[in-house]
Amino acid sequence: MIDFRLDEEYEALRKTVEDFARSEVAPVIGEFYERAEFPYQLVAKMGQMGLFGLPFPESVGGMGGDYFALCLALEELARVDSSVAITLEAGVSLGAMPLYRFGNEEQRQRWLPRLCSGAGLGAFGLTEPGGGSDAGATRTTAKIVDGEWVINGSKAFITNSGTEITELVTVTAVTGEKPNGHKEISAIIVPAGTPGFTVAPKYSKVGWNASDTRELAFADCRVPAENLLGERGRGYAQFLSILDEGRVAIAAVSVGLAQGCIDECLRYVGERETFGNKIGSYQAIQFKIADMEARTHTARLAYYQAAAKMLRGEPFKKEAAIAKLVASNAAMDNSREATQIFGGYGFMNEFPVGRFYRDAKILEVGEGTSEVQRMLISRELGVGA
C-alpha cells in the first residue's frame, strides 16, 4: 500500500526541528542577516540537537539516521531561514559526507566525530572562478613532492570555508593525466590553517547573508600524501555522486522556503485589509496562494521520491535532478508571489518574505544550475545520446 505519511520517528524529528526553528531561529535570524553575521550560537544548538550527525552511524559520532531525516530537518529550518539551513546542508552533504563515503577508517575517525557534533564544519572545494558548472575544467593542481601534496590554485563560492569552527576543506585538484589525455582529478583534504591555504574575506551576497561563503587560494600549500580522499584519479567521479545526493538536500531546502512563503502569506492575508475587506477575501489573492501550495506540494513529493530511491539503493540521478529543478523553481516563484502579496512590506528586510525573495534565486544556481538539471534529465532519458 502506498502511504506518504511520515512514520513516528520521522515525524518526531520534523516536529522537533520545526519547534527549534520557530522558537530559536525566527526571533533572532533577521538581525544576523542584516549584519551578515554567522550565527554561531544557533549552529552550536543545532549541533547539540544532533542535526549535523543525522545521516551518519554512531560509530563515527553520528545519530544513526538517514539522508531523508536530514532532508526533513532542512525543510523545517528553511521554512524560517535559508542561511541556517544551507549551513547544515553544506556541513553535512558537502563537508562530512565525502569523508564518510570515500575516506579510510583513520580519516573517518579523525574528522567525523567533530563534524557530526557540529563542533567543527567541513567544506567542499569544487567550483573555481573560471569553472562554474564545468567542474571538469579544474585548474587547481596537486603534485607529490617529498611525500606531500603541493597544491596550487583557487576555489570560489565555498560554503562554510572561513568560519571560526571550520576544520577542513576537501578540494578537487588535477593530479596528473589519464591515458586518454583527460585530466586526472583527485580529492585532497586540506585542514584549516594549513600554510599556503588562504581564505578570502566573505563575499557581499544578495542572499544567504547569515551563512559563510568565501573564495579560497592555495599557494604551494602542503599536506601529507595520506590526505588523499578515496582513490587517486576518482575525485571528480566521487564528487559527482555527492552532488546527486546534495541535489535532493537542496530540493528540501527549496521546499522549505516555498512553504515558508505560504506560511507568511496565510498569516498576512488574514490581517491585512484593503477597501474594507481582508485581502484574503479577494479571488486574485486566493488563486496566488493556491498556486503556491500546488507548487510546494508537487516539489515535496518529488524530493520524497528521490530520497526514497536513494535509501533503497536504486539509481536516483534523474529523480534528484527533477526534484532540484522543480523545487528551486517553486521557491523562486513562491517568493516572488509572496513579495507581491505583501506589497511594499514585502520589500522590507524586517519581513521574512523579503529575505525569502533574496535567498530563493541561488537555489536555481547552487549544486548545479537549472540548465544542468535539464541536461541531466534529458541525458537520463537518452535524448541526444
- Per-residue pLDDT tens over the stretch 104-115: 999 999 999 999
Q: What mean pLDDT is predicted for residues 303-312?
A: 96
User: 337-367: per-residue pLDDT in tens?
Assistant: 999 999 999 998 889 999 999 999 999 998 8
Residue 133 has pLDDT above 70, yes or no: no
**Rounded average pLDDT over 314-319:** 96
**The domain made up of 8-121 is a member of CATH 1.10.540.10:** yes
pTM of the model: 0.95
Hey, what's the torsion of the CAs at 365, 121, 69, 316, to 10 degrees? 50
| Residue 90 DSSP one-character state | I
Q: What is the pLDDT of residue 167?
A: 97
Checking if the pLDDT of 223 tops 90, the result is: yes
Third-level CATH fold of 123-234: Butyryl-CoA Dehydrogenase, subunit A; domain 2 (2.40.110)
Q: For the ranges 123-137, 181-195, 293-307, which has the lowest average pLDDT?
A: 123-137
> How far is C-alpha 205 from the chain's CA centre?
16
Pairwise pLDDT comparison (2 vs 117), residue with the higher score: 117
Q: With residue 189 as reference, give the H or E element that holds it.
A: strand 183-191
Give me the residue spans of the domains in the chain: 8-121, 123-234, 237-380
Catalytic residue annotation = 367
What 3 state SS string does 318-350 have?
A: HHHHHHHHHHHHHHHHHHHHHHHHHHHHHHCCC
Predicted confidence band at 385 (pLDDT cuts at 50, 70, 90)? Answer: low
* Burial 355-375, CB ≥16 within 10 A → b, else e: bbbbbbbbbbebbbbbebbeb
Written as nine digits, the cell of 315 is 539509481
Section 249-272 average pLDDT? 96
**Average pLDDT, integer, range 275-280:** 88
Class of domain 237-380 as given by CATH: mainly alpha
Split at pLDDT 50, 70, 90, the class of 152 is very high
